[in-house]
Structure 1
């Protein structure tokens, strides 16, 4: 499926106040200047901390999109362009496409998310990713949720159901950790040449996200 990326709905999540106001404006301008036509700023929902706030907001967007049938993108407010695309060709069975990558992995099952173990930094981990074609890699456990395109409503529904289950015990599970635990059950891909990274000038983790991806390990 060839996706017209600039005509795809984009949700930009940010608290939008204080230091986040300038970050939000900067990213909005970047998107508009690049020709993105369907950008919506979404103010972060309340949470006991920033992690919970972001997860709650992603969950709310998923509920809004559950009955839809078009791909959509969720961005965090520290994104910058790394590689520019007009279109992206995705496999017909693609459920999720990571437009940004990270040097983080959380190789645990959904049940062990309760333990809140710190994610492991990874290098040269063939068990985490595998090459799919010249432009895409298939993921098996990478974390990092700063730039993701969602196609599958089944993935979205599973995330909603799992979050409802987990929230009975833990109220600030990072959404990207839950995503990573679902990779083995879905067709999840990432761009080898990412579209976005987290900009350090906006408070992002540039050192672990401004990377190219060779399909076997991070390079």
Structure 2
């Protein structure tokens, strides 16, 4: 695996739920990619210490997409931090993140009565009171962020309309968000249950093939570094039923 300098893949396990936010930094900026579920702020702060960082060091937060397990602790972080934070997201998902539209996969109006009653009370509360916050900077496909020698934004819709992935040029690392998941060190398509447009999601994976990717960071599953290009080529050939 390529050595990662100025990048730390965080592993947060809480209530049998495991996620992998990422922090990327240089001598001027510290960027957190995704914020976990509501109530994860302290967990993120504690695990950031592994890289000798804390929430006080943050200059920006990038949201790969609108799902609750990615935006959930953003409001708490914004409240806790006294410094100005730049909040990045793709323009297609901003209305959902800011609360102007109901979250696509957490809208109580879309649940049947049976589905709603099957949810734990904690999730019902979150769905009825979804996290929301203002996004300061809209991202577009191909945009470059001047952090740690360059981050390229890749618009990868399918899982959500405004889903984005990030390519770190220096280390050839793809931070895939939920465009891919990893299981036992192998890349897989995003979960079809939570991916409204799987055909589009597969088209998004094809975008990765033009990049010299050496390792992939999946929000669900962690780092994959074995035969990455071959795995991506196989997934890009996938057909939906």
Normalised by the length of structure 2, the TM-score is 0.32
**Higher RCO (Cα < 8 Å, 6 or more apart):** 1
Normalised by the length of structure 1, the TM-score is 0.34
Larger radius of gyration: 2
